[in-house]
Amino acid sequence: MSQRVRVTRVSVKGASPFIGLSDNGDSGSERLYSRDPDELMRWLCGAWRTRFNMHRSRRNRYDKDGNLVPIGGEPDLRTPKQSRLTQSWTAAVPTAVLESPDRLERQDWFAAVKRRETLKQQGKDPGRMPRFRSRKHSPDIFACWYNNGRNARFQRVGRRSGIVFITGQNPGQYTASGKRESFVIRIHVRLSEPVCAYTSVRVNWDRRELVFVNDPQAITRQPTHKAVGIDRGVAVAVATSDGAMLRLPKNDLKRADRLVRMHQRAQARAIKASGKTTKDYYRGQMSKRFRAHARAISRLSAKASRTVADRQQKWSTGLVRDYDAIFIEDLNIAGMTSKTRPVPNPLRPGQYLPNGQARKRGLNRVMRQASLSRLETLIRYKADRAGVLVAQVPAPYTSQRCNACGHIAKDNRESQAVFSCINCGHTANADTNAARNILDAGASAHPEITHGTQQGRTCPGDGGTSDDWNRAIGEGRSPDETRTSAA
Ligand SMILES: [Zn+2]
């Protein structure tokens, strides 16, 4: 887990940090000091990137003949201490900043290696290996270890504001007195909630953002002796066997979708008016307005995806906290979002009949947004750490089987929302019925876990209604109740 906060301003206390020699070590070079916030932050980001690329230069790749060669030609093997001595602009950079690329570069590299392997296995384009961070194209970022309070300490100064203190020293060779001089860079941030225990801070200066990075903590929970089946869908994102209906904020997402399409149409008009092909237009000079539309689109999409992610985090935490066992249907999500098969028109060769692709395209968009597989990933991740069982059960007929008598028929499903058994007359919400079937299938497959939990199962209607659930999740109970305040 991590917490993102906004940087409001930066100030310095103590000595002016030494940011390097004017021409790096030649005779007559001037010592540069700065108290300018932007200059100081860019200085830290630059030093961080330099160290990052030093580590990156030690990575190898296979060349045409199958030999392992360093990716950048010559590997740079300098230690932080050596780089301080040879690169004057890193001389006063705090150790907690200068050492952090060591681990972060490794994480970045091996995450990419793993991702490419997975994509290759799935027969997809693995993309290229990560490269060096570029001064021009990579965002200006740096990280600083907290190291049990040795640096990047946080202090709350107001109800909604706090300061992160990054301390460092100008080495004696670069001070007037010849003695080391300390400085404190104070990053002022705006908060909306208490800061949790963290292990490092990461600053994105381009976006004026600071992230407190936390080690993932397990959800603290007591055994509840309850099991749950959950049915994931599009109309209702998650239906539980207890009758809860968890929905995404549909109107917000629809509005974002509408605005995105509006901007896309405007972009299409701009391309058409230019008389170029789409490809040529992107290659050439894009108009100012066109780029503004592109920024608006990415802002809206990011907002929508954060909305979905936030809900899913809260739902998965709630489920893991409230149940000892969670059963999920085994969905073929890739199949559900793929295109429909084309249907050739037998009367007119070369033409095709309507096959529902237009309708399915809308659905695909919603499905992608709902990102069903991510919810499962989140549940598994949190359940793993909390000792909760998560198991998949086969999906077929979970939506057509009557939970009361077991009768399976397509006609059982009266509409999208209502289930009505043609055999015994049992009626229920269709999604709740499916979730109960999933729970029953899971319970019979895992008798050791669910022994005695069936009695604890509450009926839909008495008590645990969807509104209660949504409210309980939406308010107060944040994703981590286990958080401890670091301030
Ligand atoms: Zn029935």
Q: How far does the centroid of ligand 1 lie from the alpha carbon of residue 61, in Å?
A: 62
pLDDT band for 459, please (50, 70, 90 cuts): very low
pLDDT surpasses 80 at 348? no
Tell me whether strands 227-232 and 325-330 are parallel, antiparallel or unpaired.
parallel
Q: ∠ CA 265-267-269 to the nearest 5 degrees?
A: 70
pLDDT tens for 170-205 read 999 888 888 999 999 999 999 988 888 899 999 999
Q: In terms of domains, do 209 and 231 share one?
A: no
Residues 238, 138, single domain; the answer is: no
Give the residue from 88, 96, 61 showing the smallest Cα distance to 75.
61
Q: From the CA of 226, how far away is ligand 1's center (Å)?
A: 25
What is the 427 CA–ligand 1 centroid distance (Å)?
A: 8
Same domain, 110 and 31: yes
| Tokens representing residue 467 in the block | 């509104």
Report how far residue 112's alpha carbon sits from residue 349's, in angstroms, rounded to the nearest whole number. 46
Domain presence at residue 167: yes
- pLDDT at site 341: 65
**234/213: higher pLDDT:** 213
Q: Is residue 455 pLDDT above 80, yes or no? A: no
Please indicate, yes or no, whether residues 153 and 81 belong to a single structural domain of this protein. yes
Q: How far is ligand 1, taken at its centre, from the CA of residue 420, in Å?
A: 8
Give me ligand 1 centre to Cα 413, in Å: 11
Domain boundary among 213, 240, 271: 213
Instruction: Note whether 308 and 208 are same-domain residues.
Output: no
CATH number at residue 373: 3.30.420
- The verdict on 471 and 407 lying in the same domain is yes
Of 224, 243, 222, 246, the closest CA to residue 235 belongs to: 246
Q: What confidence category does residue 453 fall into, taking pLDDT thresholds of 50, 70 and 90?
A: very low
Indicate the residue among 188, 213, 238 that finishes a domain: 213
Q: Are 390 and 465 in the same domain? A: yes
- Rounded to the nearest angstrom, the distance between the alpha carbon of 467 and the centre of ligand 1 is 27
Q: 317: part of which helix (H) or strand (E)? A: helix 288-322
- Tokens 């007591």, residue located: 222
Distance of CA 419 from the midpoint of ligand 1 (Å): 10
The most confident of the ranges 163-172, 226-235, 429-438 is 163-172
Domain span at 168? 2-213
- Clarify whether residues 195 and 246 are in a common domain: no
More confident residue, 216 or 295: 295
Do strands 325-330 and 389-394 pair parallel, antiparallel, or not at all (unpaired)?
parallel
User: Cα–Cα–Cα angle for 66, 72, 76, nearest 5°?
Assistant: 120
Ligand 1 centre distance from Cα of residue 470 (Å): 29
Direct distance between the N- and C-terminal alpha carbons of the chain, in angstroms, rounded to an integer:
17
Distance, CA of 180 to chain centre:
42
- Can you tell me the distance from the alpha carbon of 354 to that of 441, in angstroms, rounded to the nearest whole number? 37
| pLDDT value at 64 more than 50 | yes
**412 C-alpha to ligand 1 centroid (Å):** 8
**This prediction's pTM:** 0.61
CA of 423 to the centre of ligand 1 (A): 5
As for how many domains the chain has, the answer is 2
Span from the CA of 435 to the centroid of ligand 1 (angstroms): 15
